[in-house]
Amino acid sequence: MRSNFYQVNEEQRHGSYAVGPLWPLLALMFGGAWLAWPWSIVNAYALNSPTRKAEIAWAAAGLAGSVMIAVVILLWANSAADDDAAGVRLRYAMIGLTVWKLVCAYRVYLLQSRTVELFEFYGGQLRNALPIVLIAFFLRDMVLGAVPAVFLRLALM
């Protein structure tokens, strides 16, 4: 005889390496996109997120958009005159690159926030990721210095 067993699809497995979505967002701010976007994707799998495809799409869009913006900034910097106005415009363009990265990372944060609530409700334990963010902060220059292409370094910082 078959028993009526009810299982919620969002119910999480214990022993996961999931972290709160704030940690990858802070990793972007303190370490760079080189850590934040892959970590967000790994976290989506660790949380068994139902919005995993959207989170991966936002992380990929963040990387692709950052590369395109960085290439445009570098092309503009090479063609710009060495006057003060060109330097100011380039600094504003760099702010635009930073804003693009933050928008994409924040969107992933918002998508994962809903999943984290379910994860914790069903007994899932989130890990403390402060040591990873601190290590990324101190290793940021070394990691980005190893990237050969300047446009990639701008996109991944």
The H or E element spanning position 50 is: none
Residue 6, pLDDT score: 46
According to DSSP, the residues that pair with 127 across neighbouring strands are 19
What is the reported pTM? 0.84
CA distance 110 to 137: 23
Burial zone of 69 (CB within 10 Å; 0-12 exposed, 13-18 middle, 19+ buried): buried
Cα→Cα distances 23→10, 28, 38, 70, Å? 22, 9, 12, 25
Is the Cβ–Cβ distance between 44 and 52 less than 8 Å? yes
pLDDT tens sequence across 60-114 = 999 999 999 999 988 888 776 666 677 777 888 899 999 999 999 999 999 999 9
More confident residue, 62 or 7: 62
Cα→Cα distances 67→52, 111, 150, 153, Å? 23, 23, 10, 9
Return the DSSP state at 66: H
Q: Is the pLDDT of residue 11 over 60?
A: no
CA distance 112 to 60: 16
Average pLDDT estimate for 125-153? 93
Query: Amino acid letter at 36?
Result: A
Residue 13, pLDDT score: 55
Residue 2, pLDDT score: 55
Q: Is the pLDDT of residue 127 over 70?
A: yes
List strand residue ranges (DSSP E) for the chain, in order: none
Is the Cβ–Cβ distance between 55 and 49 less than 8 Å? yes
Is the Cβ–Cβ distance between 22 and 30 less than 8 Å? no
> pLDDT band at 21, cuts 50/70/90?
very high
Residue 42, pLDDT score: 95
Residue 104, pLDDT score: 97
Residue 3, pLDDT score: 55
